[in-house]
Structure 1
Amino acid sequence: MSTPRFLTLPPGVRSRQIETALGTFAALEALPVSGIPERWPALLVPGLTGSKEDFIAVLQTLAQAGRQVVAVDMRGQFETTGPDDSAAYTCAALGNDIDVLAQVIGQDGPIHLVGHSFGGLVTREAVIDGRTRFASYTLMSSGPAAIIGPRERAGRAMLSELPETGLEHMWHNRLEPEALSAGVPDEIVAFLRKRFFANSVTGMYRMTEEVLSAPDRCDELTQIDVPTLVLYGEHDDGWPPRLQSEMARRLNADCVVVPGAAHSPAVEAPETTAAALTRFWNAAESRRSA
């Protein structure tokens, strides 16, 4: 597995394959300079059309606080292969993958869990099922139920286009023009194209269905004794900021609004995001120790 040259990995960050009983998952792993983690590890899970690379900008900073930090591609995403079976891409099935990954990475000990966007809907399955001992849980730019607003409309357009026109039409007629009009550098557009076409079409279709129909599970989450953080950008165009703030209140969770960021705080404001996660993780570990 290789990382494009323009996505140069910071010192202390490496590509790796994580072997589990359910298969092999592509990952990026960051370790402290000493190579010896002194705090509990963390697992970062990306959103629907994202990948582990979405966390590159925060991995080194997070690891320097003394942790092993691992970002993964979920089943069917980018460099993790997946079956041509839509049942493998439900939130419940993907959440089971997260349970298994967390147990392998954390070696059955406490581990911090972060889910970004659709990754939040997936990771909450692993939290609610209670099979893994999570040190803390962070919902990053995610929501209590199905996505709404502009991204809901984009998701419904994807469902209508995929069966008839496939990935090529979507990329050339919508996604690439959107990236270019937003001023995304050519080398990043090239990576986005590579990543988009590497995704499982079956997986992308089913995961889109899932993000458009997810039920509200906040009441179930409140029954789980785990420190929780809701973190989002002040200009989030996924779940509205007011909805995420209300979710934090319902979950009795800490809440951090990242100034200047939109739907991807780890990309748009990496230092602020990494600092907020580190503070939250340290506090969660202190409470657990006490």
Structure 2
Amino acid sequence: MSRPPSLALPSGTRAHSMETSRGSFAALDCTPPDDVPHRGTVLMLPGFIGSKEDFLPLLAPLAAAGMRAIAVDGRGQHESPGARSRKAYEQSELAADVAALGEAISHVTTPVPLHLLGHSMGGHIARAAVLDTALPCPWASLTLMSSGPAAVQPAQRKRIELLLQLLPVLEKEQLWQEMQKLETREPPTDDVADFLRQRWLNTDPDQLMAAGRQLIAEPDRVNELAHLSLPLLVVCGQEDYAWPVPWQLDMATRLRAHHAVISGSSHSPNVDNPAATAQALIRFWQRTYRTPAQPSGGTSRQNLLSSRP
């Protein structure tokens, strides 16, 4: 679970509801300053027990580089409306939501490249959205952030399985208190602590159940993705606990993708070291509009190894 250091909205950011053909989605939308050329737009998807606020530290540096950055709550996450049926939380349905968001963004923005980024479970949804999208592909690139090739590693799988067992039998407030007893990080500020609790309470239990099941059963779809002629970036923290770094680097090799390992960070480089993470993202996107996309059998991608500035 990502924990933003602050809830302050960067300059140029507005919180609003994005209307799509598949419903409305809560969003944080940060546009570049007036004196900065608009290079592209990125749609960012959060992970398990996450929300759009997980990308707050990235918004300002991305906007300063000319990227309009849009972070959303997925269906049933935090401030986005939930669904009436559990079927609506199947991965194919969530991928269709992403396609609808992309279509809505393209209709109201200037004609610039539209990039897709998914963190953790959001990476699996983003991958499914790309694979399920009818050609021609609307996405200029795909970034998988701290998101592995298949299911999470065994130790993390056990934690999720325990959560899935407890969700139906404990009140969410009680379960939250139990989860806090296992927290080893320094306590956040009071406003962030209140936000984390409220986010947990807001998120639809059916969404949590479906997401947890997906994380422990996700198949390896790397070979499918490797067949697409789409610029790809694999980026992760140097101490990722959900998918070990070697797993993610092997995935990058199989994809012939750019890759970046962010120092001083764990499963959420977006909040642990946002400066280096933003630099890796910006360098990658700059390459996508300077160099034509290579097919999966093309030249090997360059290592974008990042370190703390």
On the 8 A contact 1:147/1:239 being kept in 2, the answer is: yes
2:129 is the counterpart of 1:126: yes
Which residue pairs with 1:8 in the alignment?
A: 8
Taking the TM superposition and a 5 Å limit, the aligned residue runs for 1:50-69 are 50-69=50-69
On the 8 A contact 2:99/2:133 being kept in 1, the answer is: no
The alpha carbon displacement at 1:67 in A equals 2.0
On the 8 A contact 2:230/2:293 being kept in 1, the answer is: no
Task: Give a deviation string over 1:222-241, Cα, whole Å, max 9, x none.
Answer: 11110000000000111011
Which residue pairs with 2:153 in the alignment?
A: 148
More helix by proportion, 1 or 2? Answer: 1
2:173 is the counterpart of 1:168: yes
Q: Which runs of 5+ in 1 are unaligned?
A: none
Taking the TM superposition and a 5 Å limit, the aligned residue runs for 1:63-78 are 63-78=63-78
| Separation (CA, whole Å) in 1 of partners of 2:75 and 2:14 | 20
Structure 1 residues 197 and 35: CA distance shift in structure 2, 3 A: farther
Q: Which runs of 5+ in 2 are unaligned?
A: 295-309
On the 8 A contact 1:136/1:284 being kept in 2, the answer is: yes
Amino acid at match of 2:115: H
Taking the TM superposition and a 5 Å limit, the aligned residue runs for 1:208-223 are 208-223=212-227
The alpha carbon displacement at 1:247 in A equals 0.5
The alpha carbon displacement at 1:187 in A equals 2.4
Task: Give a deviation string over 1:213-259, Cα, whole Å, max 9, x none.
Answer: 11100010011110000000000111011100110011110110000
On the 8 A contact 1:103/1:109 being kept in 2, the answer is: no
The alpha carbon displacement at 1:84 in A equals 3.0
| Separation (CA, whole Å) in 2 of partners of 1:109 and 1:98 | 18
Structure 1 residues 162 and 54: CA distance shift in structure 2, 3 A: same
The alpha carbon displacement at 1:9 in A equals 0.4
SS state at 1:230 partner: strand
Which residue pairs with 1:31 in the alignment?
A: 31
**TM-score of the superposed pair, with normalisation by structure 2:** 0.88
User: C-alpha root-mean-square deviation of aligned residues, in Å?
Assistant: 1.9
**TM-score of the superposed pair, with normalisation by structure 1:** 0.93
Which residue pairs with 1:158 in the alignment?
A: 163
Which residue pairs with 1:139 in the alignment?
A: 144
| Separation (CA, whole Å) in 2 of partners of 1:48 and 1:90 | 14
Which residue pairs with 2:305 in the alignment?
A: none
Amino acid at match of 1:191: F
Amino acid at match of 1:88: A
On the 8 A contact 1:109/1:133 being kept in 2, the answer is: no
On the 8 A contact 2:41/2:112 being kept in 1, the answer is: no
The alpha carbon displacement at 1:184 in A equals 2.7
Which residue pairs with 2:189 in the alignment?
A: 185
* Among 203, 222, 226, the residue aligned to 1:199: 203
The alpha carbon displacement at 1:135 in A equals 0.6
Which residue pairs with 1:266 in the alignment?
A: 270
Structure 1 residues 162 and 256: CA distance shift in structure 2, 3 A: same
| Separation (CA, whole Å) in 2 of partners of 1:233 and 1:136 | 20
Which residue pairs with 1:45 in the alignment?
A: 45
| Separation (CA, whole Å) in 1 of partners of 2:96 and 2:213 | 18
| Separation (CA, whole Å) in 2 of partners of 1:102 and 1:223 | 22
| Separation (CA, whole Å) in 1 of partners of 2:235 and 2:185 | 28
Structure 1 residues 39 and 178: CA distance shift in structure 2, 3 A: same
Greater Cα offset, 157-166 or 128-137: 128-137
Structure 1 runs (4+) greater than 4 angstroms displaced: none
Which residue pairs with 2:87 in the alignment?
A: 87
Greater Cα offset, 227-236 or 126-135: 126-135
Q: How many residues align?
A: 285
Amino acid at match of 2:147: S
SS state at 2:266 partner: coil
